[in-house]
Amino acid sequence: MPTADSVPRFVAISVVVPVFNEEDNIRPFLARTIPVLEKIGPYEIIFCLDPCTDRTEDVIRETARENPHIGLLVFSRRVGQPSASLAGVFNAHGATCVVIDVDLQDPPEVIADLHAKLAEGFEVVYGRRRSREGETWPKRVVSWAGYKVINRIASVKIPRDTGDFRIFTRRVIEELRFLNEGHGFLRGLVALVGFRQGEVLYDRDPRHAGERKYNAYLGSLKIGFNGIVGFSTYPLSFILLGGVLVSALGVLGTIYMFVTKLIIQQDYPLGVPTLTVLVLFLGGIQLIAVGVLGEYLGRTYDEVRRRPLYIVDRALNVNVIDYRGPRSGPARTFRPISDAF
């Protein structure tokens, strides 16, 4: 069985692929990706595997026996796509690194265009979707609105119609390693690092096989909210402004009642429905405010605890640099797959 030592020391390009229950997509993905990478130079493909319920791991191990440039990281528990992607980035050995999904919605052939664009002096080149086949119009509306809001209020600009599909240099990888962030919003972190960034337009294809692993609408909202809370304090300012406006309306309403009652001598009818609406309105605002504050407090709590982004349980054809997050180093108890099975 090939070991980590069989991977070439110099790697021109690393391809990081987060996977979860994708057994039907592994071989088609490799069939299209490997010919592209062979034209670029020495390469490695790192599958970052959340523990699966299908044969995804077995399929990857079979392909890794045939090609030592194919590597595998298996986590101790399900960590989610953002953390899995960062695990691959932090353990990549390439001079450049690409993050791409395995479902072939992002065509692997575009990797060649991304890599060529780096030669123009860019440190990051992201794929920007010109069209989005296989996505419903409500999903597109949610995505469009999310990017609009994030770029309106966030401290960094995240290009519209982009995902995690991008290439960046070793310099960017090392800067990402020094960001003490517990929430792996990769596209936001790459934007935060900065440097000169370019784009390549491409047409996004329908998913090759299987079903998406997150809700098309709630998943997008969650990603968007993560980008807002992680890179902007605007919601806190908005709450303050909303509180001031509601208080001002309350003062004006009180003045109006006094004037109509004491000066104009107009009877002001007592109305239970009016009071009910006001109570519900103010209660709703208070709950929203508490919820937003809770999101920021929760993120602060997560960062203070400094729990690991991931824990690598075993690896194949990958020299593990950081087994549990940035600057964690290799674990003494860590065993490669070749020794564990």
Range of the domain at 25: 4-232+308-340
The H or E element spanning position 63 is helix 56-66
pLDDT of residue 4: 42
How far is the C-alpha of 327 from the C-alpha of 323, rounded, in Å?
Answer: 9
pLDDT of residue 193: 82
Residues in Cβ contact with 71 at an 8 Å cutoff, skipping those fewer than 6 apart: 4, 7, 44, 45, 46, 47, 64, 315, 316, 317, 318
Taking residue 61's Cβ as centre, other Cβ atoms within 10 Å add up to 20
pLDDT of residue 287: 67
Residue 167 and residue 108 in one domain: yes
Residue 123 and residue 11 in one domain: yes
How far is the C-alpha of 11 from the C-alpha of 97, rounded, in Å?
Answer: 10
Residue 12 and residue 150 in one domain: yes
What is the count of structural domains for the chain? Answer: 2
CATH code, domain with 140 = 3.90.550.10
Each residue's pLDDT, cut to its tens digit, for the chain (341 residues) gives 334 444 446 889 999 999 998 888 999 999 999 999 999 989 999 999 988 888 898 999 999 998 999 999 999 888 888 888 888 999 999 999 999 999 888 899 999 999 999 889 899 998 888 876 655 566 666 565 665 665 565 556 677 777 788 899 999 888 888 877 766 677 778 887 888 888 888 888 777 665 665 555 555 555 555 555 555 556 666 666 666 676 666 666 666 666 766 666 666 555 555 665 566 667 667 767 776 776 667 666 666 667 788 888 888 888 888 888 777 777 665 566 654 44
Residue 312 and residue 331 in one domain: yes
Residue 118 and residue 67 in one domain: yes
Residue 240 and residue 227 in one domain: no
Residue 37 and residue 104 in one domain: yes
Residue 108 and residue 198 in one domain: yes
Q: Name residue 164's beta-bridge partners.
A: none
Residue 331 and residue 282 in one domain: no
Q: How many helices (H) and strands (E) does the chain have?
A: 11, 9
Scanning the structure block, which residue is given the tokens 């605890």? Answer: 305
Q: Does residue 76 come out as left (phi exceeding 0), alpha (psi in the -120 to 50 range) or beta?
A: alpha
Which class for 288: exposed (0-12), middle (13-18), buried (19 or more C-beta within 10 A)?
Answer: middle
Residue 209 and residue 220 in one domain: yes
**CA distance readout (Å), 184 to 12, 176, 181, 239, 296:** 25, 10, 7, 26, 16
Residue 249 and residue 324 in one domain: no
Residue 47 and residue 188 in one domain: yes
Specify the pTM. Answer: 0.70
